[in-house]
Structure formats: C-alpha cells, structure tokens
Chain A
Amino acid sequence: EVQLVESGGGLVQPGGSLRLSCAASGFTFSNYWMSWVRQAPGKGLEWVANMKQDESEKYYLDSVKGRFTISRDNAKNSLYLQMNSLRAEDTAVYYCARAMDFVVFWGLGTLVTVSS
C-alpha cells in the first residue's frame, strides 16, 4: 500500500524558515517523480513544485521560486521542501504527492501557518 506521510509543519513568523519532510513507503520511491501541492485554508489546490527521480529536473510555482527548494533522498525514501522567507500567503496545508503531472497518491498533509 502506498503511503506518504508529511511532517515538519507548524507556526512560523513571517520571514522565517521551515523544512517539510515526506516519508514514502509501499512503492519504489526512486522510480517516481514527486511533487508538493498546497491548499490555503478554505481555498483551492495549488501546485508548488515537482522533481524528477534523479533530481535532474525541478520545477517551481513562480511565487515560490528562489524561496523554496524541493529535494529528495532516494536512499531514505524521503522528499523534502525547504521553505525560506515565508510569507503570510504561504499559509496552507502542504501535501506530498507521487506525481509528475496528475496526482494518483496524496499524503494527508501538514499545516504551515505563517503569522506573527
């Protein structure tokens, strides 16, 4: 059974940093593109970033470019999202997803709140 478990969310002040993690199991992690998708409270879904199996391709939403970095450790079956210079508008549930384009498998999400 495919499982994606996010962690690392929490309350952070504007301008601060957080690192999200996603632990993957139930499939061969190194064979798949992975993504982060977020959802602000009461709002719709927004793709944030994705990356290829070997990290040779990474893509970002324009509003997070230069602030967020997606990475992975295939030996640890883990996906990461380093978020710097956080803004109030980054407040959202962040979902880890096994996906290059459309998402078949989603994690349960981790809430990031940016507030003073």
Chain B
Amino acid sequence: EIVMTQSPATLSVSPGERATLSCRASQSITNKLAWYQQKPGQAPRLLIYGASTRATGIPARFSGSGSGTDFTLTISSLQSEDFAVYYCQQYNNWPPLTFGPGTKVDIK
C-alpha cells in the first residue's frame, strides 16, 4: 500500500499571501496525484489531477507540481474562500487508492 503524507498539518496564512502545501508518497507514483479541497460540511472538490492539471472551473491561482514521490500545491494569492482542508490522493498503484491526512489552511 502506498502511504501518503502531507505537511504541514496546519498552515496559517493571511489573505493575499501565497500558500505552499506538500504531499509525499512512500514510493514513486509518477504523476498520478490528485488534490482536493474540502470545506466544513461539504463534499470534497477536485482541484488538480495528473499532479499539475487543473480540473474544470478551478481558478489559475491553484497550481500543482511534482513527480515521483514529492508534490506541491501552491495557492498564489489566498482568497477568503480558499480557507479549507486540502487532501492529496495517489492513483498510480491501487487498490487501495490512498489519501493523505490533509492540510488545514486557516486564517492568520
């Protein structure tokens, strides 16, 4: 099973600032990585797949990078609606499909 880790667990950022979230896989997953955003009481929303391809309707301030075992989600200028929990998920080697534990982005 591929284990996904995320850091930091919580990221405190001021609106307008840049946020950088990290995700690491226990073994290479090539570029088979997705990022999701989840707000309280809501289902997750797909942001990025293929490590760097934005999903339909996702603003350009969200970008993904990385390959192999190390990945990054960058939010270039945080908006109020971006404060949420972010999960990464690998789909290179399954079953099982596995998610990271999440990074909570909150207001500084």
Contacts and interface: CB of A to CB of B under 8 A. Distances in A.
A61 interface: yes
B98 A47 contact: yes
A108 interface: yes
Interface residues of A, number: 19
Interface residues of B, number: 22
Contacts of B98: 47
Interface in B20-36: 32, 34, 36
B19 interface: no
Most chain A C-beta atoms within 10 Å of own C-beta, residue among B38, B91, B97, B101: B97
A102 B87 contact: no
Interface of B: 32, 34, 36, 38, 43-46, 49, 55, 87, 89, 91, 94-102
Interface of A: 35, 44-47, 50, 59-62, 95, 101-104, 106-109
